[in-house]
Amino acid sequence: KAGVTQTPRYLIKTRGQQVTLSCSPISGHRSVSWYQQTPGQGLQFLFEYFSETQRNKGNFPGRFSGRQFSNSRSEMNVSTLELGDSALYLCASRGTVTTNEKLFFGSGTQLSVL
């Protein structure tokens, strides 16, 4: 069974540009979550989608948005990039959204904003 796949693996952008990251969950998983990881900050929750609907949203500005498609694949978009957006963006999937359901993570997309 294939794991969570994130593309691209690395991305370099300049300030003001926008970027779209992609995540394909494990087959059969309907939930996809996105996290931003920066040194010293740990994993900051961005949002979670389940069956194409956003369930939860973290405390990030509106420049960060996402969506989920009918095949459960998800995209995350960041508009008007800032230097502080440089981070590892991790995607995670799970089959359901119950309390005990663990997350399965992808390898992440390393975004550098110059």
Partner 1 sequence: AQKVTQAQTEISVVEKEDVTLDCVYETRDTTYYLFWYKQPPSGELVFLIRRNSFDEQNEISGRYSWNFQKSTSSFNFTITASQVVDSAVYFCALSDSNTGNQFYFGTGTSLTVIP
Residues making contact with partner 1 (CB under 8 A): 3, 33, 35, 40-43, 45, 48, 55-56, 88, 90, 92, 97-108, 110
Q: How far is the CB of 70 from partner 1 (least distance, A)?
A: 22
Q: Which is nearer to partner 1, 70 or 98 (CB)?
A: 98
Q: How far apart are CA 34 and CA 47, in angstroms?
A: 6
Q: Which is nearer to partner 1, 79 or 105 (CB)?
A: 105
Q: How far is the CB of 64 from partner 1 (least distance, A)?
A: 16
- Burial category of 30 from C-beta neighbours within 10 Å (exposed 0-12, middle 13-18, buried 19 and up): middle
Helix (H) / strand (E) element for 46: namely strand 42-50
Task: Tell me how far the alpha carbon of residue 104 is from its chain's centroid.
Answer: 12
Q: Which is nearer to partner 1, 56 or 77 (CB)?
A: 56
